[in-house]
Amino acid sequence: MARRQTVSKTAPGEKIAENIIDIDVTTEMEGSFLEYAYSVIYSRALPDARDGLKPVQRRILYMMADMGLRPDRGHVKSARVVGEVMGKLHPHGDSAIYDAMVRMAQDWALRLPLIDGHGNFGSLDDGPAAARYTEARLAAPALTLTDHLDEDVVDFVPNYDNQLMQPEVLPAAFPNLLVNGTTGIAVGMATNMAPHNLGEVIAATQHLIANPEATLDELMRFIPGPDLPSGGRIVGLDGIRDAYASGRGSFKTRAKVEVEQLNARRTGLVITELPYMVGPEKVIEKIKDAVTSKKLQGISDVVDLTDRSHGLRLVIELKNGFNPNAVLAQLYRYTPMEDSFGINNVTLVDGQPRTLGLVELLQVYVAHRLGVVRRRTAFRLRKKQDRLHLVEGLLIAIVDIDEVIQIIRSSDETAQARERLMAIYDLTEIQANHILELRLRQLTKYSRIELEKEKDELELAIKELQAILDSEQRLRSLVSDELGEVAAKYATPRRTVLLESEAASPLKGVAAAPAVTGKGAKAALPLEIADDPCWVILTSSGQLARTSNQEPLTEAGQRVRHDVFRSVVKTTARGEIGAVTSSGRMVRVQVLDMPALPPTSGLPNMAGGVPVKDFMTLAKGEKLIGLVPLNEIIALGTRNGIVKRVNPEYPLNRDDWEAITLKPKDEVVGLGVAQQDTDELVFITEQAQLLRFSASLVRPQGRTAGGVAGIKLGADDHVLFFGVVAQNDPAAVVVTVSTGSETLPGTPGGSVKVTEFAEYPVKGRATGGVRAHRFLKGEDALVVAWAGHGPAKAAAANGVARALPTEHGRRDGSGIPLTSQVDQVGPSNTPVEPGEDPAAG
C-alpha cells in the first residue's frame, strides 16, 4: 500500500508567524484542576441543602413536571424522559441520567420514592432494564417538590446553551435531603446521608419553625435516628448523636432475624429485613464463602424465599445441636447481616460545600421554605392587585357603558379611543386597554353586582395576603401548616428499630444471649448446645417435646391443655431414645431434633411441642405407644395378652427395627421400663379383668423374639392396658372407665372407678386375674384403663384436661367425666424427683 504524503499548503520560502506563550505548568494545572473540581462539586456530585437534590435529579423532576407526567396520567417510556432531559437541560451521557432516574424510583434506596416506575427498575442484586423497556411518571410526593414553580417562588437560570430556563432550586414542600438521604463523591470530598422518617422530620421542622432557638436535644426528641427503607435494626445511638451534632458519625445496622421451627427436626434463622442497600444474594454468597472457609459453623442450607407477596424471607437452616444465638453472632461477624453506615453531611449552601449537623440542615431548609412561601404570597398578591385594578376600571366604565361604546365608535384609532377613555373616566392606561380589548358579547357578563362581588373578594384576599407578608409569625404558621398537610398525606410508620446498646437482642423462642461486640470480636456464646440433662415428654394428645432442664416436673397452678403425660423419659439434650409403635416397631429418635420448651418451674407448657405425625413417619393405622430409654430393659404388652421384656441390644447402624415379633391381628397396647425383676407387670382387659405379676416371671429376650403369654383372655376379650408399676408403690392407683355398647357417643352413660393398686392381689403369669370393675346396668365393657403412680390425671383426645374423682371408689356418670369425654389417663406430675420415671405406662 502506498504511503500517503502530506502536502504542505505553505508556499516555499514563506514565513509563518508564530505566537508562543510560555506559562508555568504548575499554575496551569492548579487553575484547570480547581475549575474541574468546582464543576464536579457544584454541578454534579453534591446536593443542595435546600431541596436535597443534585442538578441531574432536579432537572429530571422539573422536566417530568413540565411534560405533564403526573401520577393521574399514564406512564411514558423512560428513554423519552432521558432524551428530553439530556437535550434541553443536562448535556451529559444518557446512562448517568437514567441511573439517577432509576434511583429515585427504587423504594429500597429512597424512604419516599419520587418517581413511579413501571417495569424492571432493578433490585439490590441486579441492575434495571434498559431505558427503552421501562416506563415512568412522577410519584405523588414529587409534586410537592415542584408545585408553584409558575408563581415566581424560586430563581430561574439559563440552561447550558442559554436557550431555555431552568429552576436554580425546587420549592420542596418537605425536607427531602433528610427524608431520602443522598450519596455522592466529588473531588476531595464526599457526602453520605441516611434516610429518615417523613413524619418525624416534619415534626422536628415544625418545632424549629415555632422555636427558632431549638437545641439539638429538643429536635432529637422528634428525630431519634435514621429510618432506613429496608427496615432492620440500628445498634448503638452514640454515633448518630455525633452525626447530628457535627455532621459526621457512624452507626451499625443489623438484619431483623427470628428463629423458627422449620419442621419437627429443623430450626432456622429467618431474615425478613436486611441492612440498608444490602441484597439477599450478597448475603447468601458471603455465607457460602464463610462456610466453605470454615469460618461459619452450624449452617446446613440457605434458602431465599423472597417474593412480591411476602417480601424478603431468607431462611438459614441450622444443624442440630447448634445454638441459634451463637450462629447469629457468627453471621454478624462474617457477613453483611451487620453493616456500618458512615454519615457525612456535606451539602451545598449558597454554592459552597459545608458539613452540617441536624440543626443547621433544618435551619437551611426552613429559611428556604419561608422564602418560597413569601415569594409565592407576594406573587399572588400582585396578581390579585392587578385584577382588582382591572375590575375597578370596569366598574367605572359599566356605569355608562353606552357612552363608552359611543366614545370607542367615534374615535379614529385605538390610541385616540384610549386617550379619550383615560381623560373622561380617569382610567389608567392598563384599565383603558382592558376595556378596549373586550368583545361586545362579553359586556353582558359584566353586571355591576358581579363586579362588585368580585371586588369585595379580591380586597379580602389582598388583605389576607398582605397580612401574611407583614407578619413573620403568620408566615411561619402557614409554612408549618403546609408541612403538616404533607405529613398527613405521605407519612408512614417507622420501619427501623433503634437499639441503645450493643447487646444482641435475644431471638424469639431462644434464651437471652450475652453481649456480642460486633465484627472482629469472639462470640461469648457456646456454639453447640450442651449435653445437659432433660426430660422428653409425650402427652396423651400426641404432643412431643423436650424440656431445657431436668428440674422436677411438679404441677403448678390450674390444669392446662396437654398436661396428661403418656411417657416421660429422662435423658440428655444430645442423647437418643426409642419410640415404640403399635406394630412393634422401635424408632431411634435424636433428642436434639425435638423442640425445646422454654425453661419453667413446675409443669412445662406442652403447647410448644409438635405433633407426633410431624415428627416421624407412621404407617396407616400405626400409632405411637410410648417412649423408652435405649439402655434399659423394657416390657411390652399386646392386645392378645402377650408380654415381652426386651434386652437393650439394638442395632447401631439402623434407625428403626422390630422390638417384638407380632402374630397377625395383634398389636402393642402398652409398655414401660422393667429394669428390675421386682417391678410388677399389669394387664387390664376390656372385660375389666386385671392381672398383676412380678417381672421376674418374664425372662428378657432379644428384639426378634415373640414374647410369652401374659394374661389368659376370655372369649371376645382383649387387652386394653399394659404397664409397669414399681413394687410396693404406696401411691399406685388403678383407673377404669366403663361404657355400654348401646350408649350413643356424647350422651351420658358409664362410670369411673379409682382404686388403690394394693387392693388387687398378685397372681401368676398366664392366668385370668381378678375383676377390676363391676358393670352397672347398661355397661358391658371398659373403654379406658390405667394403672401407675397416682393420683391419675385424665384428658380428652384433643388434650383438654378432665377431672377424676378425688376419693377412691366407684362414681356414677353424673357430675364426673363421661365415657365420651375421657379418652386418656396418665400419671400425675406431683411429685417427680430427678431420676424417677413417672411414666409407668
Do 137 and 74 contact (CB within 8 A), yes or no?
Answer: yes
Q: How far apart are CA 586 and CA 662, in angstroms?
A: 13
Do 476 and 210 contact (CB within 8 A), yes or no?
Answer: yes
Q: How far apart are CA 580 and CA 616, in angstroms?
A: 11
- With H, G, I as helix, E, B as strand and everything else as coil, classify residue 22: coil
What are the strands of the beta sheet with 576-581, ordered from one edge? 624-629, 576-581, 585-590, 656-658
Cell of 15: 514565513
Backbone φ and ψ of 620, nearest 5°: -60, 125
**What pairs with residue 755 in β-bridges?**
734
* CB within 8 Å of 17: residues ≥ 6 apart: none
Q: How far apart are CA 701 and CA 288, in angstroms?
A: 50
837 torsion bin: left (phi>0), alpha (psi -120 to 50), beta (else)? beta
Q: Which residues are catalytic?
A: 133
CA within 13 Å, CB half, 653: 0
Q: How far apart are CA 154 and CA 304, in angstroms?
A: 48
Q: How far apart are CA 813 and CA 817, in angstroms?
A: 7
Give, rounded to a whole angstrom, the gap between the first and last alpha carbons of the chain.
Answer: 105
How many residues are recorded in the chain? 841
Do 434 and 428 contact (CB within 8 A), yes or no?
Answer: no
Specify the pairing of strand 793-795 against strand 801-802: antiparallel
**What pairs with residue 339 in β-bridges?**
253
Q: How far apart are CA 415 and CA 430, in angstroms?
A: 13
CA within 13 Å, CB half, 767: 16
Is 307 buried (19+), middle (13-18) or exposed (0-12) by CB count in 10 A?
Answer: exposed
What are the strands of the beta sheet with 338-344, ordered from one edge? 182-185, 190-193, 338-344, 248-254, 233-235, 497-499
Cell of 436: 378596549
Q: How far apart are CA 784 and CA 680, in angstroms?
A: 20
The residue among 333, 250, 249, 246 whose CA lies nearest residue 297 is 333
CA within 13 Å, CB half, 191: 31
The residue among 456, 451, 462 whose CA lies nearest residue 385 is 462
Amino acid at 539: T
Crossing angle of the two packed helices 414-425 and 401-410, in degrees rounded to 10? 140
Cell of 5: 504524503
Name the strand (E) or helix (H) holding 451: helix 448-470
**What pairs with residue 267 in β-bridges?**
261, 318
The residue among 232, 200, 197, 172 whose CA lies nearest residue 111 is 197
Q: How far apart are CA 22 and CA 293, in angstroms?
A: 61
Measure Cα distances from 549 to 286, 589, 599 in Å: 36, 19, 7
Q: 331-354 as b/e, with b when 16 or more CB fall inside 10 Å?
A: bbbbbbbbbebebbbbbbeeeebe
CB atoms within 10 A of CB 589: 24
Do 264 and 528 contact (CB within 8 A), yes or no?
Answer: no
Q: How far apart are CA 43 and CA 92, in angstroms?
A: 11
